């Protein structure tokens, strides 16, 4: 689906989607709890549907009514589970060790760029602790039951491996230890995990170089309301910096979400009343990069985004696709080894951009278009369904122009 956007600032009040990071984690915890839980305020998306499907395949059950999900924890683990992760890297990396801890022989499939996203850490560490990978490429087939013990994890690949183990290891009889062999990037995402585990009755002890996880624990049912997602709100923070007036009513000021830093970055870069420039270390906030790049493209001087090399293995090579999107609209963006250099041209104009199947590229392009009078055509705009299915509905509700010109 191609959508023509542009030429209109946004104005109004809305609720952004619920935090996808929090929702994934709450759904998994509720599925592992012995009893019934209710998770409210959930925004359904392709990724959330994938996690619901994965935990259903492992024996949990869910009833969805609007934004409310009633979850019944796993009573009996199936001997075999067929788990379709769709394009959700979170689902794959969170649920794979859980399935191994439950002892279910499992097949994990997926599509898009998901088969290219690395899980070598799991091959190595789960393989040393009772799990056999029958295949080394997707669909991944694994058998055996996970054992407690020592897990050595590189912290600079993806925090999702740490989160997956934090979900799984409390289920084992033995105590376990996660030892970080390098600096843990995206630490705020692990903080979200630890916070959610605590809410569902799980204890994790932080050590000097990792985490100690007591075995023999049980998840307890808990009713949870999911807060608004700062990674989605980031697009509106940037829109406001570019002249829009969007008020968001469901963000927590004291959220543990790392992406709440968007508020500070925008405030600091616009301290003079107009967009200036900035240097952003995005090792802990990689999801903000497309929105930040749009902000920088309308700035007064060169901005630099760095420590974001892991974006190359997202739904797209997000460094390259962010640069290509802005350059197609008159920008001057260079890709570096670990980020982007954005040089404002003062000549942003209409054009055609390709979402590359990446939800964040599509949304970033739409926000850039609010300052481009002659319109931006976004190819593959349906990519927003992955995390924010109602993005273009909200965009037009706020006064933005978004017309479908090709429906596929």
We report the CATH number of the domain holding residue 325 as: 3.65.10.10
Q: Are residues 34 and 154 in the same domain?
A: yes
Residue 170 has pLDDT above 90, yes or no: yes
Give residue 138's domain range. Answer: 20-225
Burial 208-229 (b: 16+ CB within 10 A, else e): eebbebbeebebbbbebebbbb
- How far apart, in Å, do the first and last CA atoms of the chain sit? 5
Among 165, 193, 225, give the residue marking a domain's end: 225
Rama region for 296: left / alpha / beta (φ>0; ψ in -120 to 50; rest):
alpha
How would residue 314 be classed by pLDDT, with cut points 50, 70 and 90? confident
Residue 58 has pLDDT above 80, yes or no: yes
Strands 303-306 and 340-342, by their bridges, are antiparallel
Percent of the chain past pLDDT 70, that is, above it, reads 100
Q: Are residues 165 and 46 in the same domain?
A: yes
Q: Are residues 389 and 252 in the same domain?
A: yes
Percent of the chain past pLDDT 90, that is, above it, reads 91
Residue 316 has pLDDT above 90, yes or no: no
Q: How many domains does the chain have?
A: 2
Structure token pair of residue 128: 């040393």
3-state SS assignment for residue 318: helix
3-state SS assignment for residue 396: helix
Residue tagged active-site, from 284, 287, 358, 394:
287
Structure token pair of residue 80: 């075999």
Rounded CA gap, 194 and 93, in Å?
16
CA distances from 182 to 179, 188, 207, 372 (A): 9, 16, 14, 43
Q: Are residues 190 and 264 in the same domain?
A: no
In eight-state DSSP terms, residue 330 is T
3-state SS assignment for residue 352: strand
Among 206, 225, 244, give the residue marking a domain's end: 225
Compute, in degrees rounded to 10, the torsion defined by CA atoms 110, 63, 383, 137.
Answer: -10
Q: Are residues 264 and 338 in the same domain?
A: yes
Say what the pTM is: 0.88
Rama region for 375: left / alpha / beta (φ>0; ψ in -120 to 50; rest):
left
3-state SS assignment for residue 276: coil
| Size of the chain in residues | 408
Which residues does 312 contact at the CB level (< 8 Å), separation at least 6? Answer: 318, 319, 320
What's the whole-number mean pLDDT along residues 180-186? 91
Q: Are residues 282 and 373 in the same domain?
A: yes
Q: Are residues 391 and 356 in the same domain?
A: yes
How would residue 119 be classed by pLDDT, with cut points 50, 70 and 90? very high
Q: Are residues 246 and 374 in the same domain?
A: yes
Is 287 catalytic? The answer is yes
Q: Are the beta carbons of 122 and 110 closer than 8 angstroms? A: no
3-state SS assignment for residue 36: strand
pLDDT score recorded for residue 408: 65
Q: How many CA atoms lie within 13 A of 254 on its CB side?
A: 1
pLDDT score recorded for residue 281: 95
Q: Are residues 36 and 90 in the same domain?
A: yes
Strands 80-84 and 105-109, by their bridges, are parallel
Q: Are the beta carbons of 288 and 297 closer than 8 angstroms? A: no
Among 198, 225, 252, give the residue marking a domain's end: 225
pLDDT score recorded for residue 36: 98
What's the whole-number mean pLDDT along residues 176-203? 95
Cα 398–404–407 angle (5° rounding)? Answer: 145
Q: In what order do the strands lie in the sheet with 68-72?
A: 61-65, 68-72, 36-40, 224-225
Q: Are residues 9 and 93 in the same domain?
A: no
Rounded CA gap, 6 and 402, in Å?
7
pLDDT score recorded for residue 272: 78
Q: Are residues 196 and 69 in the same domain?
A: yes
Structure token pair of residue 14: 């809305």
Residue 101 has pLDDT above 80, yes or no: yes
pLDDT score recorded for residue 294: 98
Structure token pair of residue 47: 């990724």
Q: Are residues 166 and 25 in the same domain?
A: yes
3-state SS assignment for residue 88: coil
Which helix H or strand E contains 132, and what residues bound it?
strand 132-133
């Amino acid at each position: 689906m191609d959508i023509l956007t542009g030429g209109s600032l946004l104005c109004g009040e809305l609720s952004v989607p619920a935090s996808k990071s929090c929702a994934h984690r709450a759904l998994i915890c509720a599925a592992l709890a012995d009893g019934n839980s209710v998770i409210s305020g959930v925004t359904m998306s392709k990724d959330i549907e994938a996690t619901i499907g994965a935990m259903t395949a492992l024996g949990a059950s869910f009833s969805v009514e609007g934004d409310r999900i009633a979850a019944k924890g796993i009573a009996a683990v199936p001997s075999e589970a067929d788990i379709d992760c769709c394009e959700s890297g979170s689902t794959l990396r969170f649920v794979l060790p859980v399935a191994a801890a439950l002892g279910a022989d499992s097949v994990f499939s997926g599509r898009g760029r998901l088969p290219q996203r690395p899980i070598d850490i799991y091959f190595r560490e789960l393989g040393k602790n009772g799990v056999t990978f029958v295949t080394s490429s997707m669909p991944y087939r694994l058998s055996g039951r996970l054992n407690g013990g020592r897990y050595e994890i590189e912290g600079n690949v993806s925090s999702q491996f740490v989160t997956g183990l934090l979900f799984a290891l409390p289920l084992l009889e033995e105590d376990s230890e996660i030892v970080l062999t390098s600096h843990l990037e995206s630490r705020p995402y692990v903080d979200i995990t630890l916070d959610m585990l605590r809410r569902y009755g799980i204890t994790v002890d932080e050590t000097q170089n990792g985490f100690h996880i007591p075995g023999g624990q049980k998840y307890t049912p808990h009713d949870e309301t999911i807060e608004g997602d700062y990674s989605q709100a980031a697009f509106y923070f940037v829109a406001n910096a570019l002249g829009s007036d969007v008020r968001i009513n469901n963000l927590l000021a004291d959220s543990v979400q790392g992406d709440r830093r968007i508020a500070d970055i925008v405030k600091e870069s616009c301290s003079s009343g107009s967009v200036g420039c900035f240097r952003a270390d995005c090792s802990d906030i990689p999801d903000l990069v497309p929105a930040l790049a749009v902000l920088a493209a309308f700035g007064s001087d060169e901005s630099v985004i760095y420590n974001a090399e892991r974006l190359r293995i997202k739904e797209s090579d997000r460094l390259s696709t962010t640069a290509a999107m802005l350059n197609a609209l008159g920008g001057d963006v260079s890709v570096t080894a670990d980020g982007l250099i954005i040089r404002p041209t003062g000549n942003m104009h209409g054009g055609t951009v390709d979402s590359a199947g990446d939800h964040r590229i599509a949304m970033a392009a739409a926000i850039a278009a609010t300052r481009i009078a002659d319109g931006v055509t976004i190819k593959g705009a349906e990519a927003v369904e992955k995390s924010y299915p109602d993005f273009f509905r909200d965009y037009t509700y706020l006064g933005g122009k978004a017309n479908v010109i090709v429906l596929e």
